[in-house]
Amino acid sequence: MSERRTAADDGFFMPAEWEPHERCWMQWPSRTEVWGERLPQAYAAYAQVARSIGAFEPVSMVCRPEDEAQVRLACGRDIEIVPLPIDDSWCRDSGPIFLIDGKGHVTGSQWRFNAWGNAYHGYENDAAVAGLILDRLGMRKYTNNMVLEGGSISVDGYGTLMTTEECLLNDNRNPEMTRQQIEEALALTLGVARIIWLDRGLQDDETSGHVDMIASFAGEGRVLLHMPDDRNDPNYMRMQDNKRRLEAARDARGRRLEVMEIPQPQRQFRRPDGRRLCTSYVNSYVANGAVVMPIYDDPNDEAAARVMSEAFPGRKIVTVPALEIAAGGGSIHCITQQQPKGEALS
């Protein structure tokens, strides 16, 4: 394969997350500075997510080689343990983004990773882990020198991609690239034809506004949108602006989008430095036959589960406590990465 050929040249594209999966990839909590004394609680939370997803599809947990015995004990015999060098535990962002050709073949893409705009130092292993996973799978690898995390995008599998200006146009990602150049890179590697630009993500989100905390495609022509109940909440005006953008947008097939609002958790938690802890129900994992959804011991947990059930009819809604994951800076979608079903193409 010529290095000049792109994934789009070869007919590959990123499928929607609700398409059939071969497995789910995760990375075990590793960075002590993120979790501090709560690291044991993070272990338990990740293991519970892995087991919950494992009831519907295979799960592969990447961990540092020295943690292998501990991870096997925590996750149980049904979870595959994959010892590889890693720095942190957010597989959505450091893991590969898988692609399909619609003919039963699967390949992968590896983008540049800089720990959310150099928010953390020492990320060399995470910058390499996507390639190691693809090598392990014997899978063709499309590389791109643009900084991109999987949590910063959502696709419908029919040519439409959704992201935020706050993240992808941020100077801490690709300051040398114009919006047009970024759009071209997304189109050529992920096979998309239309990009919907939202404005900002959640307040105090250390990812600089990842879209997977606020909005996601939940079916062809349907978008789930995070929405606070309180009009005085700083996130309210942000989400109202995003709602206007979605209502004015068209997907790649020229259709209007149905926007389904899902409530923001009512309770507000603070990090030790006083910044708001980001919690979101949008940040769920769509598994084979199920949606594994975070809950936060919150009055809106049940209402959010009802909305999720409406958005994904026919799938079981499995709720998993996620406050310990949120304490690290994300939620269930952030710690998972789906591998579509299909034959690995080398």
Please classify residue 220 by burial: count the beta carbons closer than 10 Å to its beta carbon, then call 0-12 exposed, 13-18 middle and 19+ buried. Answer: middle
Element of type H or E holding 271: none
Residue 274, amino acid: G
24 is catalytic: no
Query: Any residues with CB less than 8 A from the CB of 307 and at least 6 apart, and which?
Result: 224, 260, 261, 262, 263, 281
- Say if CB 214 and CB 228 are below 8 A apart: no
Name the token pair of 70: 């501990």
- Say if CB 191 and CB 8 are below 8 A apart: yes
Exposure letters 15-38 (e unless 16+ CB within 10 A, then b): bbbbeebbbbbbbbbbbeebbeee
Please classify residue 270 by burial: count the beta carbons closer than 10 Å to its beta carbon, then call 0-12 exposed, 13-18 middle and 19+ buried. Answer: exposed
- Say if CB 87 and CB 126 are below 8 A apart: yes
Name the token pair of 26: 């995760």
77: left (phi over 0), alpha (psi -120 to 50) or beta: alpha
> Rounded to whole angstroms, how far apart are CA atoms 141 and 189?
11
Which entry of 63, 75, 278, 334 is annotated as an active-site residue? 334
The residues that are catalytic are: 334
